[in-house]
Structure 1
Amino acid sequence: MEETIGYTGIALSLLNKADAKPGDRIRITRSDGRVFEGILMPRYAISSKPIIVIKLDNGYNIGVRVDEKTIVEVVKTKEAILREAAAGAPATIPLLEESPPAEERPKVTILGTGGTIASKVEYETGAVKPAFSAKEILEAVPEVGFIADISAKVVMNILSENMRPQYWEKIVDEVAKAIDSGVDGVIVAHGTDTMAYTASALAFAFRGLPVPITFVGAQRSSDRPSSDAAFNLVAAVLVAAKAPFAEVVVVMHGETGDTYALAHRATRVRKMHTSRRDAFQTINGRPLAKIYPFERRITLLESPLRSRGAEELEVANGFEEKVALIKYYPGMEPEIIDFLVDKGYKGIVLEGTGLGHVGEWLTESIKRAVDAGVAVVMTSQTLFGRVNMNVYTTGRKLLQAGVIPADDMLPEVAFVKLSWILSRASDLNEVRRLFKLNLAGEITPRHTIDLYPRWPH
């Protein structure tokens, strides 16, 4: 049956026997007695596995393994569902719009770097396995096939904490190749712990960008009932395929349920919780967009820096690895700064207190570092607000020593930005000039009171 696109073998035989077509509501009774009911979906990953894909009432797609003893029944035809909806009857599930043929769907490339998102559950065994061919992704999360024509490639397979600046460069190169091939968007699947660092690196490396680059991850593995992997991936594909902006963003759950996701600008986002599904938050700004995956809808919350298709691809790759990020603490010894200078480090980012301070006994070592040609940048541990080193004596002395204030940049973004700048500039005056430029939305020129979260919300 041509309409049961993608099905072969036992699955196709059962569907033909029931005269079931995509869009029909069906009931699957397996030989083990388990019953599944939902809307029959096409399979955009053609394989011999005996799996039938249905959309559940909660909006998720699942694959149900079947065998010769499985019973498939049509509960209600697609035509009947549409007639009821036209007559004003309450819809039992969100109906999908008709999906265009593969050649008309936007083209999206997914690049895997590791992490929980790059895995799937085998429905027949319940095991979690790495999944990174396009076919495996479409089998694990079938609904993305309705949004875009998916291709996929493994760039690396590492734990998030093992990410390094040299790997950022490799990811930049692979993303550039994908964009050059003519895709409508690129997704980078990444572990959540250092995802904001890598996303920020790409935001600085792409000086011209015609399509979105979407980072996505999962807080909870695919074998857990509360997994956010599928929801986040669908939201990321929607952004990569259809968002009107051409920016580097992180797309993750916007709240603990499955209502919406948020697209955070890469240079303004931070992971703020170890395990919550909505762990990622925009700091000193607002998310760029709200995404409703089940409705296939994107709502802009901020004006984008770049619009889709407005720029030609321009890549400025390269990151200096001799850069350190140091959190100041009471009693921190000057020898830590001296050690980095003696080891040939070219940049130091300090997470200072409050408006941008460290113990006054560090000033001499910091001045020695600057005199040796080391760029020293000051950020704040408070995260919210901006550095102002003109208010107190300590800050003014640090400015006189040559410290560069980081405005309202997140410490990790300042670290990435300094690494990027030092790979192309060594003169401290030029480093200072470039650092003060708002290159990728990393500086929010004006703060309003609503940017600081308060309880109750």
Structure 2
Amino acid sequence: MKRVLVLTTGGTIVSLRSKEGLKPGDDLSQMLFNKIISLAGEYDVTFEPIFNKDSSNIIPSDWYIVKETIRKHIDKYDGIVILHGTDTMSYSAAMLSYMFCNVEKAIVLTGSQIPIAFDNSDGVKNLKDAIITAADGRLSGVFVVFHDKIMKGTRVYKRSSINKDAYISCNYPYVGVIKERKLYITDDYKRMQEKEVDIKEILGANDICLNNQSTSAVAGKTLKIPKIFMLKMVPGFEPGLLDYILKEGYQGVIIEGYGLGGMPVANMQLLENMERLIKRGIPVIMATQCVYDGVNLDTYEVGVTAGRLGILSAYDMTTEAVYTKLMWILGITDSYPEIKKFLQTNICGEIAVKHTNNDEI
């Protein structure tokens, strides 16, 4: 019988009504167990709470708490399920993907759009599907399971605030689907896996995915979370904001640019301030506000100019994936060449396409 540990962190799936609106209830392990009783005899499921938060209240240090809990238990189970709120699940899934990029078991995040205590909840099926996925020995890595679909942890994007089919897999094949309690891995995912190279061959790292930030750092006061500024380009953007980034000691900047990675290069003050950041050794990465297809800094003048300044491309990474990746890397090294190398390396499926000026548009 496969053993699965379900870790609870709060979220809609365990929420109850209150005077202030829906909010995560106290430990609901018994209720959750009763909801999956139909899996008895096939899976040995244990529930353990970590913390109890609406996912809007999740902060980066929480990811390290989840990481240490997983590390403590993973050898004793065939797979891990994490119940999580939907609003920031894509961030948590991406960060855990880097933290456990060499894991040989499945770590699965799931949740629901309607609390599991409600009759019309999607939580029961999502939880059962997540348990089935976590226990499936064919999968290893971090995934999100939602509405029958299995998605790579670095590729999930929440497209709907209320629809039960809330997530898509962005710029990457769906890993699989679950129908009638059976897991089917897609051919597209199998083909994608064949193309991906073991990161150890590229980085020459023995345990890069697990060594950053020790258990003692999490337990004590020495855990240092890198400060990363998310900058969304809008018409009329004031470049003086970049002075604030320098003053406040941010260690990295991610720009959500236009289209293929554009910014207003006609604004000379913006270019000067951006160049000053880069000369200080602060990595600046160009992502895109578009959901699909990613960044190509070799196509338009507004992208070429950004690239010549030293702004790095996020390629086809989601904003959530590049934000957490930079945070994870800065927790490992402060060497700019290493930061650049890691950013441009596909660690766990977050980069599939690196556009060049030979690509058609």
TM-score past 0.5 threshold: yes
User: Residue 179 of structure 1 is aligned with which of 61, 74, 93?
Assistant: 74
**Residue 93 of structure 2 corresponds to which residue in structure 1?**
199
Measured after TM superposition, the shift of residue 226 of structure 1 is 2.5
User: Residue 297 of structure 1 is aligned with which of 172, 175, 182?
Assistant: 182
Structure 1 335/155 Cα, relative in aligned 2: closer, same or farther at 3 Å?
Answer: same
- Cα offsets for 1:198-220 (capped at 9, x unmatched): 01001001132121000010111
**Residue 32 of structure 2 corresponds to which residue in structure 1?**
137
Please give the residue correspondences for 1:83-232 in structure 2 after superposition, counting only pairs within 5 Å: 105-118=1-14, 129-133=25-29, 135-180=30-75, 182-232=76-126
Q: Which has the higher contact order (CA 8 A, sep 6+)?
A: 2
**Residue 369 of structure 1 corresponds to which residue in structure 2?**
277
Identical counterparts, % of pairs: 30
User: Residue 247 of structure 2 is aligned with which of 332, 335, 342?
Assistant: 342
- Cα offsets for 1:32-62 (capped at 9, x unmatched): xxxxxxxxxxxxxxxxxxxxxxxxxxxxxxx
- For 1:374, give the aligned amino acid: I
Runs of 4+ in 1 over 6 A off after TM superposition: none
Measured after TM superposition, the shift of residue 330 of structure 1 is 0.7
Q: Within 1, Cα distance between the matches of 2:309 and 2:14? A: 47
- For 1:159, give the aligned amino acid: D
User: Residue 426 of structure 1 is aligned with which of 334, 340, 355?
Assistant: 334
Please identify, of 223-232 and 282-291, the stretch whose mean Cα deviation from structure 2 is larger: 223-232
SS of 1:389's partner is coil
CA contact (8 A) 1:120 1:140 kept: no
- For 1:283, give the aligned amino acid: C
Greater gyration radius: 1
Q: Within 1, Cα distance between the matches of 2:42 and 2:240? A: 55
* C-alpha RMSD of matched pairs (Å): 2.3
Q: Within 2, Cα distance between the matches of 1:359 and 1:446? A: 23
CA contact (8 A) 2:78 2:135 kept: yes
CA contact (8 A) 2:27 2:49 kept: no
Q: Within 2, Cα distance between the matches of 1:156 and 1:400? A: 45
SS of 2:7's partner is strand
SS of 2:12's partner is coil
- For 1:432, give the aligned amino acid: K
CA contact (8 A) 1:138 1:145 kept: no
Measured after TM superposition, the shift of residue 305 of structure 1 is 4.6
SS of 2:51's partner is coil
Measured after TM superposition, the shift of residue 427 of structure 1 is 2.1
SS of 1:245's partner is coil
Measured after TM superposition, the shift of residue 173 of structure 1 is 0.8
- For 1:352, give the aligned amino acid: G
Matched, 1:238 2:102: no
- Cα offsets for 1:179-225 (capped at 9, x unmatched): 13x20000011000000100100100113212100001011123443
Question: What TM-score does the superposition give when structure 2 sets the normalisation length?
Answer: 0.84
User: Residue 416 of structure 1 is aligned with which of 313, 324, 344?
Assistant: 324
Question: What TM-score does the superposition give when structure 1 sets the normalisation length?
Answer: 0.67
Q: Within 2, Cα distance between the matches of 1:209 and 1:279? A: 27
Structure with the higher fraction of residues in helix conformation: 2
CA contact (8 A) 1:169 1:317 kept: no
- For 1:322, give the aligned amino acid: K
**Residue 345 of structure 2 corresponds to which residue in structure 1?**
437
**Residue 315 of structure 1 corresponds to which residue in structure 2?**
210
